[in-house]
Structure 1
């Protein structure tokens, strides 16, 4: 787990744990496809922490470092980072690309729930 993804609210996934977590997690999961060298990704991190707290019990937020799992990022059509994908019942439901503020993130999650 990287230093930037040590919070329990936004714990890290890796290539080995990704599929099982997404498939077995009831409800919605927001996965942040990010990289430690990405400035907008680092700026988004505290906003995702807040999002996880705001929707606690409704969604889980997880992070996936695209440098560690490039094949997984490619398989999910991630072409730019940060990319957020909301999964419901194991399937990609919606996505956001780029840096967004708290209001935009909350609205996006509400619309998906």
Structure 2
């Protein structure tokens, strides 16, 4: 169903983090989630929307928290769902918990324009 390399949300692991996030040429939105997390199900469509809407200037990846403790620790993810917007080594924005669509789009617009 994916149409291009940048389309859609790619699931990554701790092992892929350096390559997929740190080496990305654009900002990266990391979506931290867990299979047991009810609110994460509310966030998933929003994350997909962000990936589609900003596909030209944003990479979107998702990380399941339980199998990827190194990245969770590095970015101090306290609970899920959580978002981290990163460009290179720099953390641009961070959220914990479910956020509304307009808040997510505002956050992205602020850092991507």
Q: Size of the alignment, in residue pairs?
A: 106
Report if aligned partners of 2:22, 2:87 keep a CA contact under 8 Å in 1. no
Matched, 1:27 2:42: no
Deviation readout 1:89-112 (Å, 9 max, x if unpaired): 242211111111211110001111
Q: CA deviation at 1:77?
A: 0.7
Distance in 2 (CA, whole Å) between partners of 1:51 and 1:71 is 25
Q: Note the 1:42-53 alignment, pairs <5 A.
A: 42-53=41-52
Distance in 1 (CA, whole Å) between partners of 2:70 and 2:89 is 18
Where does the alignment leave 5 or more consecutive residues of structure 1 unmatched?
1-7
Distance in 1 (CA, whole Å) between partners of 2:13 and 2:74 is 14
Report if aligned partners of 2:30, 2:60 keep a CA contact under 8 Å in 1. yes
Distance in 2 (CA, whole Å) between partners of 1:60 and 1:39 is 24
Q: CA deviation at 1:23?
A: 1.6
TM-score with structure 1 length normalisation? 0.87
Q: Which residue of 2 aligns with 1:65?
A: 64
Q: Which residue of 2 aligns with 1:3?
A: none
Q: CA deviation at 1:32?
A: 0.5
